[in-house]
Structure 1
Amino acid sequence: MKLALSLAILAAPFALAACTPEAPPPEEPTASIADPCGAARYSHLVGQTSPTITVPEGQMYRIAREDRPMTMEMIQERLTFVVDSRGKMLSVSCS
């Protein structure tokens, strides 16, 4: 009888732990999915002529002119700055 009571007392926390709901997985930030290269940080430069651009070390980027050919491979981690012939920033995107 003592053995059964001891087992019941020891098993109670395990039984209660099995009843607690599992915590939901943490939400992934949608900004990193929608903006993997961080182009939103540079959106204030669109419309400016010859803006000063500072890109973090190690960040892939390119500056393309709208009237010149550009490779079309998609590298989501790369920043692409598109300027016109006068140096006006037309767009910033991840590609």
Structure 2
Amino acid sequence: MKRIPFVAALAAPLALAACASQPEEPTQADADPCGAARYAHLVGQVSPTISVPEGQAYRIVRDGQPMTLELLQERLTFMFDRKGTLMSVSCN
């Protein structure tokens, strides 16, 4: 009978310590590692002119076109529909 209070006495500080260490919230850079937000104003435009900084990895994908599924967070992906309208810009 004496072991139960002893175990409970040890478990309580460990449980409180686990609650105290909250994971950090993602920063702006973590949420948008490729800078896709810079191109958000172009979404919905037909055949927009897009300038990508030198050295920036990017790809242009048309609706229905096959694409690789590897996840590269530093790469910009411009997704267009069949009419040439920019549907989305994302990091992958």
Same fold (TM over 0.5): yes
Alignment of 1:75-90 (within 5 A): 75-90=72-87
The TM-score with structure 1 as length reference comes to 0.69
Gapped regions of structure 1 (runs ≥ 5): 1-28
Q: CA deviation at 1:71?
A: 0.5
In percent, how many aligned pairs have the same letter? 67
Deviation at 1:55, TM superposition (A): 0.2
Task: State the match for 1:60 in structure 2.
Answer: 57
Give the CA deviation at 1:36: 0.1
* Runs of at least 4 residues off by over 4 Å: none
Deviations 1:18-49 (A, max 9, x none): xxxxxxxxxxx811000000000000010000
Does residue 47 (structure 1) correspond to residue 41 (structure 2)? The answer is no
Cα distance in 2, alignment partners of residues 66 and 94 from structure 1: 17
What is aligned with 1:31? 28
RMSD of aligned Cα (Å):
1.7
With the length of structure 2 as denominator, give the TM-score of the two structures: 0.71
CA distance in 2, matches of 1:44, 1:51: 10
Amino acid at match of 1:33: D
Instruction: Give, in whole Å, the separation in 2 of the partners of 1:58 and 1:65.
Output: 22
Bigger Rg, which one: 1
Gap regions ≥5 residues in structure 2: 1-25
